[in-house]
Structure 1
C-alpha cells in the first residue's frame, strides 16, 4: 500500500518550512504543500473545505464546533500566536491615549469571530475593565467593503453590533466615523507608514503585552491546523504523525534561531532577544499538544462563549482528534 497523499495549505512560516519542503519526514503521508495568504486559506476552508490539511482561524473553528459542524477536526498545532494589544489602531492626532478611552466609542472589527478580536475584546473586558457592552462595534473589511462574517453568531444581550457592508474600516477610521480599529491585519496607511494611522500604544504595545502575559500566563493562540474528518475516518493515524512532524519542524526552526555560527535570520542581536523571550516564558513559547495549551485553550473557550462566538461553553478535549489527546512516554 502506498502513502496517503494529502493537500496541505499554510501561510509562510519558518517553523513549518522543513515540513513543507520535505526535510521533516511524515511517515505514511505524501504532502502536497500549497502556500497561500492567511485570508485566502481561511475563506476556502470555511466556504469549500478545499484542503485535506489546513491552517484555520481558531475562533471560526470553535464556532463551527459549537454548531456541531464536524467535517473538519483540529490537531493541537498552533502555527500562529500573537499578543494583540498592538493591534489597536487610531487616527493620528486622536484624543485617545489609553485603552480605557475606548469606553463609549465606535470601534471597528473585520469580523466579530476573528480570533485576534476575541482576544483583544477579552483583554479590554477582563483586564482593562471596559466591558464589551460599553463599546459601539462596527464590522467591515479592513481595506475593502463587502467582508462578511463566516460563521453564525449569538451576539450577547446589550452589545451594540452592526455591519457596514458598503465601507471599509480604514475609510471609516480616517473620516472619523470610527474612533479605533481592532485588526490582526494592519490598515494599509499604517503598513505604508504614511502617518495617518498609528497604534494606540506609542511603543507598539510591547510593555502592555509582556505585562498581560506576566499577569495571566496567556500567550494567545491565533490559528490551528485542521484535517478533514473523512481523512481521519479512513486513516486515523494521520493525526499523530502530522502532530509529530509539525513539532519536529518547529524545533528545527528554534535551533536555527539559536545558532550562533551564522546569521540564519537578517536580524542583529537575535540571541539577546531570544534570551529575553526565554526569561519571560521559561521555555518554548510555541508549544504544541493539548496539555501544554490546556489553560490557554480553556480561556479562549470561555471568552468565545462570553462574546457569542459560541453559544455554549465547549470543553478543551472536544476540539481535537482523540489520537492527539495523549502521548506515549518511555
Structure 2
C-alpha cells in the first residue's frame, strides 16, 4: 500500500513524543509533525485548515459540529485534559470566599467558548447550584486586550456577556473591576504573585480528586481533528492514527513508571503515576469513547446548556463510524 502523506500539528507532550519523533509509525501513513504554540495551532487550523490533522480545542470542535460544519472529523484521542477548579482566580480582599459566593458577581473569561470555561461554568452550575444567568460575564484577553470569540454562540436567555476589547482580565481583577476570572492560563497577576490574587480553591488537588470520585468526570480539553475530505478519501487512516497515538501513550506511561532510572525530572514520578492509576484506573489517561463517556456526555450537556453547542450532541456525533465501530470493544 502506498503511504498517505499527512501533516499533523500538535504540542510536544511526552505521551505523543514517540509518534512525533517517528519511533511509532502509523501504518500506511507518512506523517509529518509540526510543533507550534498551541494558540497558533488552534487559530491556523480552525480558521485556515492549513494541515491535514491537528490538536484542537474540544469546545470549538464540538461547537462547529453542532452548527452543521462537516469540514472536520475527529478521533477520540485527548492529548490534553486537566481539572478546572484550579483555574478560578479571585481577590483575597473580595467578597468571594466559596463557590456559592460567585452568584450575582462580575466574572471575567477570555472566551465564552473556551473549553476550560465550559467546564468551570458546568461545575459551578451542577456541583454548586449557581444560576449562570445571575452572573455578569465579561469577555476580554487574559493579559492583553483584543481577544474575541472564535465560534458563533447561541447564548441562552438571561445570560449577560459583555466584551471588554480594550481591557485585560489580569488588570481588571487587580483593580476590582471583576470579582473573579475563569482562565485556562493563569493571569499575569497570579503568576507574578500579586499579594491580593489567589485561586478560589487553594487546595485544588484534593478538591479535584474528590470531584472525580463523586462525578467520574476527568475534563477533556483538546481532541485530534482531521480534515473530513482526507478521511473520506482514505477511511482507514483515522483508526491507524488512533492506534499509533495509543502506542505512543503506552510507551510514555511505561517511562513514567520506571523506578530504576526515572525518565522525568519529577521526584517520585513513578509513585505519582501509580497513585493516578489507583484513582483513575489502570489506563489513567484513556482514549476512546466508552472509557470517556461520562466526561463526554457531561461536557456536551454543559456546552449545549451554555450556548456553545447549538444543538444537543451525543459523543457518537463527534467521531467517524469507522473508528467508533472498532473502539467500542
Tell me if TM exceeds 0.5: yes
Structure 1 runs of 4+ aligned residues shifted over 4 Å read none
Query: What is the SS of the residue equivalent to 2:326?
Result: coil
Q: Distance in 2 between matches of 1:234 and 1:285?
A: 34
Deviation at 1:192, TM superposition (A): 3.2
Please state if 1:298 is matched with 2:297.
yes
Deviations 1:144-165 (A, max 9, x none): 1111111100111111111111
**Maintained 8 Å contact 2:135/2:160:** yes
**Maintained 8 Å contact 1:290/1:324:** no
Residue in structure 2 matched with residue 16 of structure 1 by the alignment: 16
Deviation at 1:92, TM superposition (A): 4.0
Q: 5+ residue gaps in structure 1? A: none
Change over 3 Å in CA distance of 1:269–1:312 after alignment to 2: same
Q: Distance in 1 between matches of 2:3 and 2:104?
A: 57
Please state if 1:170 is matched with 2:170.
yes
Residue in structure 2 matched with residue 125 of structure 1 by the alignment: 125
Deviation at 1:326, TM superposition (A): 2.4
Deviations 1:15-69 (A, max 9, x none): 0000000011111111111111111111112211112110001110111001111
Normalising by structure 2, report the TM-score.
0.96
Deviation at 1:295, TM superposition (A): 2.3
**Maintained 8 Å contact 1:110/1:142:** yes
Q: 5+ residue gaps in structure 2? A: none
Report 1:140-159 matches (<5 A): 140-159=140-159
Q: Distance in 2 between matches of 1:304 and 1:109?
A: 15
Q: Distance in 2 between matches of 1:321 and 1:149?
A: 27
Q: Distance in 2 between matches of 1:170 and 1:328?
A: 43
**Maintained 8 Å contact 1:72/1:226:** yes
Normalising by structure 1, report the TM-score.
0.96
Residue in structure 2 matched with residue 218 of structure 1 by the alignment: 217
**Maintained 8 Å contact 1:74/1:227:** yes
- Greater mean deviation of Cα atoms: 259-268 or 270-279: 270-279
Please state if 1:289 is matched with 2:267.
no
Report 1:187-266 matches (<5 A): 187-203=187-203, 205-266=204-265
Q: Distance in 2 between matches of 1:313 and 1:228?
A: 23
RMSD value, Cα: 1.6
Query: What is the SS of the residue equivalent to 2:325?
Result: coil
Q: Distance in 1 between matches of 2:26 and 2:10?
A: 16
Q: Distance in 1 between matches of 2:258 and 2:180?
A: 41
Q: Distance in 2 between matches of 1:304 and 1:70?
A: 19
Report 1:40-59 matches (<5 A): 40-59=40-59
**Maintained 8 Å contact 1:71/1:228:** yes
Residue in structure 1 matched with residue 84 of structure 2 by the alignment: 84
Residue in structure 2 matched with residue 277 of structure 1 by the alignment: 276
Q: Distance in 1 between matches of 2:72 and 2:141?
A: 26
Report 1:174-185 matches (<5 A): 174-185=174-185
Report 1:305-320 matches (<5 A): 305-320=304-319
Deviations 1:74-109 (A, max 9, x none): 100000111000000123433421111111111011
**Maintained 8 Å contact 2:262/2:270:** no
- Greater mean deviation of Cα atoms: 148-157 or 37-46: 37-46
